Structure 1
Amino acid sequence: MMPCSFKIIPNNELELVIPLVYELNEGKIDKVVLRSRFNEMKTQNYECAGIFRDNELIGVTGLWFCTRHYVGKSLELDHVYIKPDYRGEGLGKKFMKWINDYAMDNGYNALELNTYVQNYPSHKFYYNDGFEILGYHFLKNL
């Protein structure tokens, strides 16, 4: 197993994440739409972190920064994804540790995330990492 590095992807390089987020969404969101949305997201309280092996992006997560009335400064993970060929190596656990440290180093009080109801393996992973279910995420398309 070759070593990996974790780092924040500069906004001008967010194009790198489009293929992984496209895979995560099983092709349900067009790449042109993803590109447009990421161009908008980078002007908001958003950063993107990646897992790199030999300069190849093999994992990604979005990081949304905000203050919540119930917990204070919060970092919310979004579109967490590791390419299937690299799963089972403990990268997810290392990535979460890196994100946890990054949040703490930047004065954040909590990590939050949403995961799809049917994604049972992720539920176990996040429980094992110390996350608790706080509520339900609702969506209404307009």
Structure 2
Amino acid sequence: MNLEYHIREITKSDLESLFALFKEFTEFEKRPEALKNSLGRMQDEADLLKGFVVENDAKKLVGYVTHYEAYHTWSGKALHLDDLYLKPECRGKGLGSQLIQKVIDLARAQGCYKVKWMVSHWNEPAKEFYRKLGAEISNVEETCDLVL
């Protein structure tokens, strides 16, 4: 059976399904304990959640990309790609490329200087995918989080 996929902007009606995908992503990243978000928090903060989802022809979400606006002192206006995730059975179909292209197109439309994101050190398939897009991967900086 050949499924069709549709990419669209995230809506508030997606939150429950998105939260399930967030959980899957933390497991894929081998860090399920890192998920501190909750469905209730997502509902309270829904206006801040920006991105795109992939749904199949059965209207089930199978992937997403999230982003937010940023300003970098060294380069100016940017779009930060927070997460990109596809269910394993949906990889290799060009959906990841389509998702990231949506963010790139949005950044261009908004006059951003760049799109910035992070990738796990161990995730070589993702690094290769990003290099093919033309992204430069640097190991100069490390992530710092101060949990409040």
> TM-score if structure 2 supplies the norm length?
0.80
SS state of the match for residue 25, structure 1? helix
Does structure 2 conserve the Cα–Cα contact (< 8 Å) formed by 1:11 and 1:47? no
**1:64 aligned residue:** 68
**1:47 aligned residue:** 50
The alignment-based identity, stated in percent, is 23
Change (3 A) 1:118 1:108: same
Distance apart, 1:13 and its partner CA: 3.4
Distance apart, 1:43 and its partner CA: 4.7
**2:18 aligned residue:** 17
**1:98 aligned residue:** 102
Q: Deviations over 1:52-99 (max 9, x none)?
A: 221221111211112211222111111210000111111111222222
**1:118 aligned residue:** 122
Does structure 2 conserve the Cα–Cα contact (< 8 Å) formed by 1:64 and 1:75? yes
Distance apart, 1:51 and its partner CA: 1.2
CA–CA distance in structure 2, aligned partners of residues 94 and 138 of structure 1: 27
**Superposed counterparts of 1:81-92, under 5 Å:** 81-92=85-96
Q: Deviations over 1:113-136 (max 9, x none)?
A: 011111111111111111112432
Q: Write the letter of the residue equivalent to 1:115.
A: V
| Residue ranges of structure 2 left out of the alignment (5+ in a row) | none
Please report the RMSD computed on the Cα atoms of aligned residues, expressed in angstroms.
2.5
Q: Of residues 126, 135, 141 in structure 2, which corresponds to 1:136?
A: 141
Does structure 2 conserve the Cα–Cα contact (< 8 Å) formed by 1:4 and 1:52? yes
Change (3 A) 1:53 1:91: same
For this pair of structures, how many residues does the alignment match? 141
Q: Write the letter of the residue equivalent to 2:3.
A: M
CA–CA distance in structure 1, aligned partners of residues 42 and 124 of structure 2: 27
CA–CA distance in structure 2, aligned partners of residues 73 and 25 of structure 1: 29
| Residue ranges of structure 1 left out of the alignment (5+ in a row) | none
